Chain A
């Protein structure tokens, strides 16, 4: 009999209860705490902070808990909260050269001022399950990634790195006494080293150093300037940018990049309150910065020089920072007079589709009722088919006469 169309209200109330039940899972298993997620799922939290555009590890952990670990849903929670926060000003520009380095690697120089700092990375782990992690660890190592001196993290395999054989992971151990010295307080960024020689494309703020665009407050128009592009990518979906960056490398875009540098660490955020007139330290944020060095032929007016792709993201998020810097360079194609034939080079394509909260909303809205529109399509297709059959029937009838 006739399907009920009533009852939307009761169903919505019921679904909230069902979600709460599903989220909790088996009540015999202890409930996970926000602090546990913050400390032990820090990379997931970083992704939620990036795509949610809000630096708050506690809220990111809460969002992950509330969303059952659905990262895009968690980012959505962050954004919906972020939009309600009052804005009391803008910080001073961050100085990533003064970053308290945890990790810093360059693919362009064997050694450089400040040295290479391997820090915590999964790069050289063998992806073998550490089944010991199935059970709670008896004495958790005090060497957390977010705690203590950067040296600590480098001195031994982190507890999260499942290489428990003390002899094998030699690359994680200090390379020598030189390495035991405290890291330099500031380390020049590789593009700055190239820039001193005039080999790197200079990047100056636009004339008058205007306040950067805020795409959460104003609609974007195209072609989009670099501040808009970088902002959009910083909150863009990691997977989408990864795919686009990969496409550039494979040939859908013509850049040949070197990792000038990837650095991870803490940077102080400073704010100048109007009534004080001097900078106040608000605290540190963990950032990952990637600068790609790309080839460029130069032009009649400009001697050949390298060009830059830039990525800067919250937390320890190297994959995202690298993808972003690849796509950043690809999006500069127009500025350099290069052809823009490929998706990663087209700002409208990248910016409109990188936002996973928007994309998820629109893709998933297809679940909403569409029966009114579908009824229109049904009515049309039935009528067209009926008219077609009638026409064919008429032609059939007409045929013998035509043959006579």
Chain B
């Protein structure tokens, strides 16, 4: 017996033995019954063995490295909590970043966990199946560590305690929910393009890298540690998404138009979703690290261009929305923050008018647009606030039927007017925030007529807390919506004068005096 055979195996051969060599084509049950979902989207796969494994982690190595990461992470979290680390952040406005993050991100990581479990069950090839399963279990890690890192903040600040209730009910969380609901209800290949590629590869850097650097810059060791630790898994996830695109394109030329349409759709949907991330970078971090515009240029325009130039050999072109997003990067964060500021009774986080230095920073970072369009708005709102006339928009917003965003973004080429599109389907009228969302609807109207629009549902009496009679003659949906959301009044409205602001100041004071 040659005692060296197994030892000589390289990483690739060894990994093959540890994954795809375990698999076999079933014969007692037909393969298309065991894996029923891989054909209905029209993607043609001729040879699953052509899949190239991007990372080659066997479970023993996975456990070894992940355990080491978890040990470090929870040690830092415990130390941060024991030392009242929350008082070391730059200023109490920072907590609102965490509120927005907790409401929007862990619930989506959870959907990613479930979605990758589904795809990890459905993919025929052993290579992609294992990679998807590993991503699924990583996503459990992500939503759990995020909740654990913010858990201690929740004990001291308002607006975080009902995130689990609000994830499926709160109006402004509906865009993220619709994004993941859309991906998970699509077939396995579209899910991979939506989440594996568009979200993880093209867009996730913008969420995590500047956010986490921002957390570090603002003294939040807990969020920084969790964020960076999650990102170390993200690199694996990104390669999975990219590999999946290449695999589909190499398998059959007929896959190209389908993949291209998905790339167009999901890059746009992801871009819309990121407006609130940009707002966090430009407005909510007390100390800023880079503007959303700069992050967009590095992580989307440059990195995206590298990617799409590379994929051009398969016939892939840059997403249709690419040029519009470049125009919008100068606008969306300002429009979003103004939008939230104008609804002080409807979010569990505070808003504020940026201070003078912050306005100057925005002017410097957005030389083409800020002074021209947005600074005057803030100056007007500030003046109104000071004269006791704080703006408060109580009307129900109009939402886009596809991305569910409040229709508030500008007409391409015309920052002074709101972009608004509509279409008719089966006699009913549907509204959109953009041409891209309208296109998405028109390609799959039967799917998008189902969209859950919280403002409509509220008006129809579907958003009342338990025990309220929606058929009573005096029922007024607006009276109950805050209860339906379990919205803590202390968490709403202006940061100035808030309980968070007072508590933080008092606790910090305690730390510096006897």
Real binding pair: no
- By a beta-carbon cutoff of 8 Å, the part of chain B in contact with chain A is none
Residues on A close to B: CB < 8 A? none
